[in-house]
Structure 1
């Protein structure tokens, strides 16, 4: 496994941590955002982290790695490459996570889900349902960053390169909204809400 110290060095070197007023995918607000895509622009970092995470799953007889689009696509690919197995990605169609592009999961396939970052784990849970609906067995979840500080569990083996807590708030509890001092930004889109 890659050390937490090394992961933090990579996060720092690739300018992952942003400060401001952010609308997270979960719908919650935070004054911090980890823009994991910053790491993914450096193949050497993606490979180094994925290699460390793949080591944790090498004995789990993984058949397929699936990542939710967009954040999990590159990580799932690199995890599959490290494990020497097939790679797929799930994406939203009409607001629902699904497999498209002719992707299928054979009945009984042992599946690892790879994602960049979780706060509530919603996207990972949706992909788990897709895998189960296809007849696959979810045998693990691999994360670049677990922002829940280990609070989110999926009922299967879970490994994260970094487990941390980034405080987030429901909209009506958000201190930045109450102060009205900073604009709300949806990360990735750079849209001011």
Structure 2
């Protein structure tokens, strides 16, 4: 039946998910998350530490950004700085700026990256920002996932304190689940990504979503993993 067919997704998303699976960045089992939930899958972007894997994730980020900028009718259409929160966001920002420049040099050759120090430097150039200064710049944050939104709000606070203007966020995976600690009422079933969108009025992109992963497993995954994943999605799916 057509309804059971896996949804078609762009090749770069499929290739990204395959890279995640082959490198055990994405694994299946029983994982207790920081929120206390027991998840049937775990995503660890810290394992993208080889040249080929870093190229895979940065290229997927780049294609996601280009697709959004090409298809959206809402401003802003461009940005000045890709900001990677310390620590996981640092290599992601650097590599993705390089990937964007390689894919669309006319548009992105002047794009900068920036990241924060965990502790402000008190000598030399001083300050807490490395890379491009943020004052007056249109900034997109890049990170791996948003779970509760705490780290993302901290990053936004840094950008605002430095005089930057947040215009978007991109993550590798949208888990599509409601925030930890939320209740059972319909009004309490929003996701951390949805909360960021509403609170700051900016687009929040992802390379892939939980639905993409379910679609991939329907096509060629383990039946047991698929059933557990679908059950988890049904239990915790956010309303936004």
Corresponding position of 1:160:
206
Higher helix proportion = 2
CA contact (8 A) 1:104 1:134 kept: no
Superposition map of 1:21-170 within 5 A: 21-24=31-34, 27-31=35-39, 32-41=41-50, 42-55=53-66, 56-57=68-69, 60-81=77-98, 82=100, 83-84=108-109, 85-93=111-119, 100=128, 105-149=133-177, 151=191, 152-153=193-194, 154=196, 155-164=201-210
User: Normalized against structure 1, the TM-score is what?
Assistant: 0.69
Provide Cα deviations, 1:46-101, integer angstroms capped at 9, x if missing partner. 2321221231347732111111112211111123221331111124339xxxx625
CA 1:35 to 1:88, structure 2 compared with 1: closer, same or farther past 3 Å?
Answer: same
Q: State the Cα deviation string for residues 108-155 of structure 1 (Å, max 9, x = none).
A: 210010001121222121111111111111011011112234822322
Consecutive unaligned residues of structure 1, counting only runs of 5 or more, are 169-193
Note closer, same or farther for the CA distance 1:142–1:57 as it changes in structure 2 (3 Å cut): farther
Gaps of 5+ in 2: 1-9, 71-75, 101-107, 121-126, 178-189, 212-228, 234-240
**Contact in 2 for aligned 1:105/1:135 (Cα 8 Å):** no
Q: Is the Cα contact below 8 Å between 1:109 and 1:137 reproduced in 2?
A: yes
In the comparison of the two structures, how many residue pairs are matched?
162
Write 1 or 2 for the structure with the bigger share of strand. Answer: 1
Partner of 1:9: 18
Q: CA deviation at 1:34?
A: 0.8
Task: Please say which structure displays the higher CA radius of gyration.
Answer: 2
Q: Any conservation in 1 of the 2:25–2:43 contact (CA below 8 Å)?
A: yes
CA distance in 1, matches of 2:131, 2:17: 35
Deviations 1:11-44 (A, max 9, x none): 21221123343343xx544333211122343233
Return closer, same or farther for 1:77/1:141 CA change in 2, 3 Å cut-off.
same
The residue matched to 2:116 in structure 1 has which SS?
Answer: strand
Q: TM-score, normalised by structure 2?
A: 0.57
**What is the aligned-residue RMSD (CA, Å)?**
3.0
- Report the alpha carbon displacement of residue 3 of structure 1 after superposing the two structures with TM: 4.7
Distance 1:77 1:57 in 2: 20
